[in-house]
Amino acid sequence: MLHDIDTRDHWIEACGARLYAREWSPRGLPPPPGRDRTPIVLLHDSLGSVELWRDFPAVLCAGTGRRVLAYDRLGFGRSDACSGKLPLDFIAAEAETGFAALLRQLEIGRFILFGHSVGGGMAVNCAARHADDCAALITESAQAFVEDRTVAGIEEARELFKDPAQRERLAKYHGDKAEWVLDAWIGTWLSPAFASWSLRPVLPRVECPLLAIHGAEDEYGSPCHPELIGELAGGPARVEIMPGIRHVPHRECPEQVFKLVSRFLDGVA
């Protein structure tokens, strides 16, 4: 039950700035080092934040009996603003910056990763960079390369966000950083300099068990993405294509996503 969940907020020092993080834990769980079930760390999408995960972290926590942690990357949500443009290597760099700071300051040892959309690409890089401590990896709607469908979906979103109401909705979660957040997504992914980006070089270094979840109707990427992730991963991989589902499976069909994740994690301590 969700009312049996405790939450705690944290502030993480990274890159000379403060990042906001939240932790969900089953009520009555002993304090460290008695927390012996591997926790789940969530990495949000291009417009995401801790708040935009909504009740999914609490559902994961209650259903798996594990701690769940999520954080706002630099420039997003309640974290400090990011000065300047998002660097083109931002997906790989997260493993060395915000994510590494979270592990270090909250004294997280082994972990399970769950990354949505671009957070899935970041999770792949985190799993490769911190391979000794990564017990399992789940990607949801992750892009593995820049596909025509990805570009078309972002171009359509660019038109949608010309509506002031849509920008106001974004500002609800990101405050005065909303314009930066929007440009960090649209400007980066539509940049010719980013067109050759791919997860292909890093996937063979992911040796932990991997689950790739993807909606068949995802407007930002075809099923080619999870299939490539599963094919090139260096460890055991399972691909789940969800018929009729678009880009946010954990919001569109949360019970089904939870069942997939729960079954996948059954063998993880």
pLDDT at 2: 62
* 189 touches 90 (CB < 8 A): no
Average pLDDT over residues 179-192: 97
Please write the tens of the pLDDT for every residue from 226-253: 999 999 999 999 999 999 999 999 999 9
Q: Is the pLDDT of residue 79 over 50?
A: yes
Nearest to 117 by CA among 249, 259, 268, 254: 249
Strand order from edge to edge, sheet including 134-140: 5-14, 17-26, 68-71, 40-43, 111-116, 134-140, 210-215, 237-242
pLDDT at 267: 82
Tell me what the pLDDT averaged over the chain comes to: 95
Domains of the chain listed by start with CATH number:
2-265 (3.40.50.1820)
* Residues in CB range of 55: below 8 A, 6 or more apart: 2
Q: How confident is the model at residue 30 (pLDDT cuts 50, 70, 90)?
A: low
> What length does the chain have?
269
pLDDT at 4: 85
The answer to whether the bond into 204 is cis (omega within 30° of 0) is: no
pLDDT at 31: 45
Q: Could you give the maximum distance between any two Cα atoms of the chain, in Å?
A: 51
Tell me the chain's radius of gyration from C-alpha atoms: 17
* 72 touches 17 (CB < 8 A): no
* 204 touches 233 (CB < 8 A): yes
> For the whole model, what pTM was predicted?
0.95
What percent of the chain stands above pLDDT 70?
96
d(CA 251, CA 59): 12
- Name the amino acid, one letter, at 244: G
pLDDT at 35: 47
Q: Is the pLDDT of residue 218 over 50?
A: yes
pLDDT at 29: 57
Please write the tens of the pLDDT for every residue from 130-172: 999 999 999 999 999 999 999 999 999 999 999 999 999 999 9
Q: How confident is the model at residue 23 (pLDDT cuts 50, 70, 90)?
A: very high
